[in-house]
Amino acid sequence: MAGLTANTELLRQILVGFVRDEVRKVGIRKAVLGLSGGIDSALVVFIAAEALGPENVHAVCMPYRSSNPESEAHAGLVAQACGVNFSVVPITPMVDAYFEMFPDADNMRRGNKMARERMTILFDHSARLSALVLGTSNKTELLLGYGTLYGDMASALNPVGDLYKTHIWQLSEAMGVPREVINKQPSADLWAGQTDEEELGFSYRQVDELLYRMVDQRLTREELIAAGFAAEFIDTVHAKIQNSHFKRRLPVIAKVSNRTIDRDFRYARDWGK
């Protein structure tokens, strides 16, 4: 599929330019991001290092006690490979203190809490270091809603939010992300043995093929079936997109005035920049 094969040189130029321009225009020179050991944050840290210089990039690894130890090792490897600042801030004490009050919380609640705990640490580091928080959610997970609202989905700037997972793999290869990180099974790493693809029920490659046609090319359901996608798969994915749409929008404001924020009070975020 041509659309899922990106010109990585061009992509790199645009995304590096994006980070450099959008960070510096607000009068800031640094960025901070969570480095999980997975491929998405590894790619973003490579982009940021090239855009701002590795000395201006702070990568924070925030493991929980159930995180795979390999993740922290991979995060360190990535930070070393691109020469950025690296620190480890474990979240076990804060998360466990909270769930002592709610011991019967399920995995989803625990996972969301961990993601939001990490968010608070990144935004505190943002103030501490005078650095913008970079997001690492890719287009596949944003469309499927496979992320935590106000958790890993929170950031100031996201260079990879318009890249499908398939693009993330391609660009990571081109930018020299360590092989171990590219090759491993994608995982939210919220509990032992968790993998994205098992949890989602399909592979990233399969769903990217579908999403590209459904979202980017706007093929109809009939056209998608004719292109060889199972009706059930199409419907499942469509429902995921629709049901997670609230995560991709700002909170809904009840309109009472003539000029409501974001409805008829409309300014670009780069207003005056």
Partner 1 sequence: MSDFTAVLAQIKPKLGCVADNLALIEGRIQRAITDKADLIVFPELALTGYFLKDLVPEVALRTDSPEIARLRELSRSISIAVGFVEVTDDYRFFNTALYLEDGVILHLHRKVYLPTYGLFDEQRYLARGERFRAFHTKFGRMGLLICEDMWHLSASYILAMDGATTLICLSSSPGRGVEGDTLGSAEAWQRLTSTTAMFLNSRVLYCNRVGFEDGINFWGGSEYVAPSGESLARGRLLEEDSVTAKLDEGALRRERIFSPMLRDENLFVTMQELRRIERERRL
**Contacting range for partner 1; rule: CB under 8 A; set: 10-18, 76-84, 190-198, 237-245:** 10-18
Stretch that binds partner 1, among 1-9, 46-54, 119-127, 247-255 (CB under 8 A): 1-9
Residue 150 near partner 1 by CB under 8 A: no
Closer CB to partner 1, 6 or 188, in the complex = 6
Nearer to partner 1, 7 or 242 (CB): 7
The answer to whether 180 contacts partner 1 (rule: CB under 8 A) is no
Pick the closest to residue 59 from 47, 45, 73 (CA basis): 45
Least distance (Å) from partner 1 to the CB of residue 53?
18
> Is residue 157 near partner 1 by the rule CB under 8 A?
yes
Residue 271 in the binding site for partner 1 (CB under 8 A):
yes
Nearer to partner 1, 118 or 139 (CB): 139
* CB-based burial label for 138 (10 Å; 0-12, 13-18, 19+): buried
Q: How far apart are CA 257 and CA 263, in angstroms?
A: 11
For residue 155, the minimal CB distance to partner 1 (Å) is 12
Contact 192, 66 (CB under 8 A): yes
Is the CB of residue 116 less than 8 Å from the CB of residue 151?
A: yes
Cα Rg of the chain, angstroms: 19
Q: Does 217 bind partner 1 (CB under 8 A)?
A: no
Under rule CB under 8 A, residue 99 binds partner 1: no
Q: Which stretch binds partner 1 (CB under 8 A): 8-16, 54-62, 95-103, 143-151?
A: 8-16
Class of residue 269 by CB neighbours under 10 A (exposed 0-12, middle 13-18, buried 19+): exposed
Strands (E), the chain: 30-34, 57-61, 85-88, 131-133
Q: Considering the rule CB under 8 A, would residue 50 count as an interface residue with partner 1? A: no
From candidates 22, 196, 208, 209, binder to partner 1 by CB under 8 A: 22
Contact 209, 237 (CB under 8 A): no
Q: Are strands 131-133 and 57-61 parallel, antiparallel or unpaired?
A: unpaired
Q: Is 21 a binder of partner 1 (CB under 8 A)?
A: yes
From candidates 2, 127, 192, 250, binder to partner 1 by CB under 8 A = 2
Distance from C-alpha of 252 to C-alpha of 259, rounded to nearest angstrom: 14
Q: What's CA 178's distance to the chain center, in Å? A: 19
**Residues found near partner 1 in the complex (CB under 8 A):** 2-3, 5-7, 10-11, 13-14, 17-18, 21-22, 25, 157, 265-273
